[in-house]
Amino acid sequence: MYVSARSDYALRAMLAVAAASTGGDGGPAGSEPPTAPVPAGGSGTSPGSRSGPAGESVPAGGSVPAGGTGGELVKAAALAESQGIPLSFLQGILLDLRRAGLLHSHRGTEGGYALTRPAGEISVGDVLRAVGGSLTTVRGLPAEDAGYHGVATGLRDVWLAVHGAIAVVVDRTTLADLLVRRERSAIG
């Protein structure tokens, strides 16, 4: 398995967003407090307030859990700075993660990114597949598409076994698992 810079950056970005969503101290510096998007037309909220989850009014500057995760929205620029990722490169990664249903994006001055599900429900494998496709490739194709003949016929079985072993590790490891490991290493 080859872990590209894109995959590494995606995992680092998701971990930083997850840390912010769990109230951990690993979120990017300068990230904004959590907010909810303001619906068009205000939908009956008074000036100085906005609509929160389930339609309740939330005072301006109030806190609304982002994406149901209960944490902060993280701005792309703050994320890029904190993780040392070029912003233009990160924006493409964030778009892929949003398209894969792993991140919500909220526009506006108080906008940013939040997880769509709790960190314990997003695996490393989910993130890797979102930005890189298949976990393992043979000559640029998914391992299951590798075809051999003659004396090399058994190689396909090897690549499928490698793919399966990698999938077991990355699909069982969640963002929450990695955040817990970080906390344990900070304590120990």
**CATH code: domain of residue 171:** 1.10.10.10
Which residues in 6-26 are b (16+ Cβ under 10 Å) and which e? bbebbbbbbbbbbbbbbebeb
Closest CA to 34 of 117, 113, 120: 113
In a domain, 17, yes or no: yes
Number of domains in the chain: 1
Residue 49's pLDDT is what?
37
Q: Quick check: is 62 in a domain?
A: no
Residue reference for tokens 């396909």: 156
More confident residue, 122 or 185: 122
28 located within any domain: no
Q: How far apart are CA 159 and CA 167, in angstroms?
A: 12
Q: Residue 24 — very low, low, confident or very high, per pLDDT cuts 50/70/90?
A: low
Decide: pTM greater than 0.85.
Answer: no
Supply the pLDDT for residue 62: 35
